[in-house]
Amino acid sequence: MGEPGLKGTVTSLSSMFPVEEAEKAAKRVEEALEEKRKEKNRLNEFIADNTSLTNLVQKLPDELHHDIMVPFGKAAFFPGRLIHTNEFMVLLGEGYYAERTAKQTVEILKRREKSLESQVNSLKATMEDLKLEASFFDTTALEASEGLVEIREEYVEENSAETESGLVEQDSISFTETDNTKGAFENEEYACILSRLDELEKEEELAAENDREKSEDSFAEVDSKKVEAVDEKWARVMSRLDELEKEELTAQSDEEKDEDQQTDASESKSDEDEQTEVDFGRKNNADHNSRYQTLMHSESTKPPQQRKDKHTTLEGLSNKHQQPDLTNELNCTGLTVEPAPEDGRSISRNMPQKVETLNPSENSSVLPDRKVKFQVEDSSRKEAAVQTKKPGFDSSKAFTGSIVEHAQNLQVLQRQPGTSSQSLGPQPSKPISRFKMQRK
């Protein structure tokens, strides 16, 4: 875990965002929000007036004449009659009046109502943005006051051979543009992975052929068992993908700059998101056998390219781009990983019962249960794998798949739909749409 000779900086968040300034900014946003709220109230009043007027105008022509109290001067009334009940003088604006019937007047009023409502909607949109801003400022102010620190450490590659983590690190490094290469070790690892993938691919093909006759549901069940069975393989692949993603993100750190400021919780949230994304991808596995087969073929023929794709697509996951590719590739890897029975089963049996907490975030099916188990196990494994890498984690890549350290936070995060929805919000819908795209 601890690597000797690591250099790094510890910057307290309060130094980057002074507490008072953050609070002032929060107040400013609050005030702007207040103003917008007042505007909205005014507009709502207008809309109410408009509606009541429309009702009145519609009721007046019901009678030939109405008996009313007519205002006379500033402070007097006299009883009188309202005749010409179908003739209205409507103010069009700028001192212009038009004589209209009741129905025509109602039409004019309806048009005014529409424009009012569009104004209210635009106001609502701006208010939403302001609210987000306010919440961001509030959290930063809170964190700064609590003395949260931002730790940046240089990434120093580890040369341990036995652990998966070591393998993972070096394997991922080989696929980055900017990193220093680590030589022959990566090639070996790469060859190993390739061969394993090929084996799994073949097994998956056989299994898929057998299952093609069965219904989707049953396939899902069979699939899920296979999923459970090959957790270990999947975990390795996933962690590798995570590393790839991280490296890719360094190149795009600009976009992530804002997200840098968020806490570890948000990072682990993103990890969770990625896992749920993976989940969706795997769920899709169950639904489209033939497609996977073709994908796997392509995968076997072009492993390097696929690697790169996985790399980029995982990055896309965190950057919310290229998501169709992501599901594709993830499906590939998921499928190939599935048919390795021996290793996974024992591991899956040791799974803690964190399964239930992750369930709400997924659609109900047999598959998600297993997937969740696998995920948690995956995370725990990655935890072991990645803890050695933790010092290398760059906080500038907030939404990376490096995950894992917060396996126990997965429960907590699940119960914070408000915060997680911010990062998770757009994503659950997107996987579904991605499936649709794939189904085409």
Partner 1 sequence: MTSSSSSALRDIQRDLETKANDLSKIQKDIAKNHQVRKKYTIQLGENELVLKELDLLNEGANVYKLIGPVLVKQDLAEANANVRKRIEYISAELKRLDSTLQDLEEKQNSKKDAILKLQQRIQSLQAGKAKA
Our finding on whether 100 is near partner 1 (CB under 8 A) is yes
| Least distance to partner 1, CB of residue 121, Å | 17
Q: Which two tokens stand for residue 224?
A: 């899920």
Our finding on whether 97 is near partner 1 (CB under 8 A) is yes
Our finding on whether 98 is near partner 1 (CB under 8 A) is yes
Burial of 263 per CB tally in 10 Å (0-12, 13-18, 19+): middle
Our finding on whether 89 is near partner 1 (CB under 8 A) is yes
Chosen residue from 4, 96, 213, 215 binding partner 1 by CB under 8 A: 96
Chosen residue from 95, 215, 418, 429 binding partner 1 by CB under 8 A: 95
| Least distance to partner 1, CB of residue 29, Å | 23
Our finding on whether 99 is near partner 1 (CB under 8 A) is yes
Our finding on whether 103 is near partner 1 (CB under 8 A) is no
What's the count of helices (H) and strands (E) in the chain, helices before strands? 18, 6
Helix, strand, or coil (residue 213): coil
DSSP conformation class of 93: E
Name 362's Cβ contacts closer than 8 Å, sequence gap at least 6.
276, 279, 280, 283, 368, 371, 372
Our finding on whether 75 is near partner 1 (CB under 8 A) is no
Which residue in the block uniquely carries the two structure tokens 């499936």? 435
Our finding on whether 73 is near partner 1 (CB under 8 A) is no
Helix, strand, or coil (residue 316): helix
- Residue 101 or 121 with smaller CB distance to partner 1: 101
- Count of residues binding partner 1 (CB under 8 A)? 12
Our finding on whether 108 is near partner 1 (CB under 8 A) is yes
| Least distance to partner 1, CB of residue 75, Å | 19
Name 236's Cβ contacts closer than 8 Å, sequence gap at least 6.
164, 167, 168
- Residue 92 or 192 with smaller CB distance to partner 1: 92
Residues 181, 186, 190: CA angle, nearest 5 degrees: 135
Our finding on whether 149 is near partner 1 (CB under 8 A) is no
| Least distance to partner 1, CB of residue 116, Å | 12
- Residue 100 or 226 with smaller CB distance to partner 1: 100
Helix, strand, or coil (residue 389): coil
| CA torsion through residues 41, 46, 49, 54, sign | negative
Name 229's Cβ contacts closer than 8 Å, sequence gap at least 6.
338, 339, 340, 341, 342, 343, 344, 345, 348
**In sequence order, which ranges of 93-215 are alpha helices (DSSP H)?**
102-146, 164-173, 184-211
- Residue 92 or 437 with smaller CB distance to partner 1: 92
| Least distance to partner 1, CB of residue 115, Å | 8
DSSP conformation class of 394: -
Our finding on whether 72 is near partner 1 (CB under 8 A) is no
Only one of the segments 90-98, 224-232, 310-318, 386-394 lies at the binding site for partner 1 (rule: CB under 8 A); that segment is 90-98
| Least distance to partner 1, CB of residue 68, Å | 21
Please report, as residue ranges, which positions from 324 to 343 form the binding site for partner 1 (by CB under 8 A).
none
| Least distance to partner 1, CB of residue 401, Å | 48
Tell me which residues touch partner 1 (CB under 8 A): 89, 92-100, 108, 115
